Amino acid sequence: MTQSMDSMDNLNIDNDSLAEFDQQPITAMIETDRFCEKCGYNLRTQPTRREPRTEILLCRCPECGRFQPARDGATAGRVWLQRLGTLALLSWIIFLLALCFGLGMAQLGLTVGTLEELSYVDWNAGPVTITTQPVALGNIQITRNGVTTVYPTSGQRSAYRRIVRKPQEYDNWFRALMHTLSFLTGFLLLLLLTVALHHWRKWAYLIPATLIPVLVAAGMYYAWKIEYPYLIDWALRKITSLGAVNLAGGLTGIVFGRPFARLTCSLLLPPRIRQVMAFLWLTDGKHPPKPRTRD
């Protein structure tokens, strides 16, 4: 391998060899992240050609001109790295699912907190009678002496009355805070998904952006319709408002998620390490930032 790499370095100096290599037909493109061993440039999307003397597939770094082998050698260590990579991929999928669930629960918590803060339970008023609708999956079955009797969950029950409290001075600030957090929850979710699942098409991101606020709104509407049906119109306005803001945050994350991630990488990461995140540029058809070439 040392001799072959030395020969490739010699090819970098030999202009005739460069011209001969560039005239060879392109056999394939580098489709994964591979980094130049000299300057660290990400060779993804670079063409590969067969070197006429050695018949080895090579690609040439467009930044420093160094030749790189198009394939890795199969060693025992690389086999174990591939197995660890499979385990890391499974862990990554679990992390993404947990992320979606966690941010969905955050949106649910913001909705619950808003409704709870703007109303209160009047314990002194005494319980009130609430009529519930039949729920097929909630029927109760009791078996006595071999005879099963089905009792539907519909009927009347007692609950303490919840009342919308009088407006307070900080209500506008509180609503603004809840809506801001709801927007950021949707934006953060889609920002992370557009980076982690950068191979998705744009329309596919609409699924998680829409699904979470819809599920949260439907769940809260159903819960309040059962618990406090006399406040359902009031609660529905709050639930819909927070869901719409969360959806707006998700749509903003779809449009500006990757540009924001690119800006963050450019500001915080050194040029050489930045090549690891080159897919953020390549996915949108942009050229990744070039690393600084070592002298």
112 shares its domain with 241:
yes
Residues paired with residue 35 on neighbouring β-strands, in sequence order: 42
Do both 52 and 112 map to the same domain? no
For residue range 33-90, list pLDDT tens digits in order. Answer: 777 777 777 777 778 787 777 767 788 787 777 877 766 654 555 667 667 878 888 8
Domain around 139: 127-160
Please tell me the pTM assigned to this model: 0.67
114 and 226 housed in the same domain: yes
The verdict on residue 78 lying in a domain is: no
Same domain, 62 and 109: no
Is residue 288 a part of any domain in this protein? no
Residues 65 and 132 in one domain: no
Tokens standing for residue 171: 């209500």
The top-scoring range by mean pLDDT among 8-12, 114-118, 291-295 is: 114-118
Q: 282, 86, 291, 104: which is closest to 195 by C-alpha?
A: 282
Give domain status of residue 62, yes or no: yes
Mean local confidence (pLDDT), 23-32:
74
Distance CA 212, CA 74 (A): 44
Q: At a CB cut-off of 8 Å and minimum separation 6, what does 201 contact? A: none
pLDDT of residue 250: 95
137 within some domain: yes
Give a yes or no: residue 117 inside a domain.
yes
Shared domain check, 211 and 113? yes
Query: Is residue 33, in this structure, part of any structural domain at all?
Result: yes
- Bridge-partner residues for 147, per DSSP? 144
pLDDT, tens digit (0-9, with 9 covering 90-100), for 130-140: 555 554 445 55
Which residue, chain included where needed, has tokens 């060693």?
75
Pairing label, strands 140-144, 147-151: antiparallel
Beta strand 162-164 with 140-144 is unpaired
Cα 137 to Cα 115: distance, rounded to the nearest angstrom: 27
Q: Residue 48, SS3?
A: strand
Residue-wise pLDDT for 190-249, tens only, equals 999 999 988 888 899 999 999 999 999 999 999 888 888 888 899 999 999 999 999 999
Residue 249 inside a domain? The answer is yes
Q: Longest Cα pair distance anywhere in the chain, in angstroms? A: 98
Are residues 131 and 199 located together in one domain of the fold?
no
- Do 117 and 148 fall within a single domain? no
Report the number of distinct structural domains present in the chain: 3
Residues 105 and 228 in one domain: yes
Residue 37 and residue 69 in one domain: yes
Domain match, 131 and 240 both:
no
Q: Are residues 199 and 155 in the same domain?
A: no
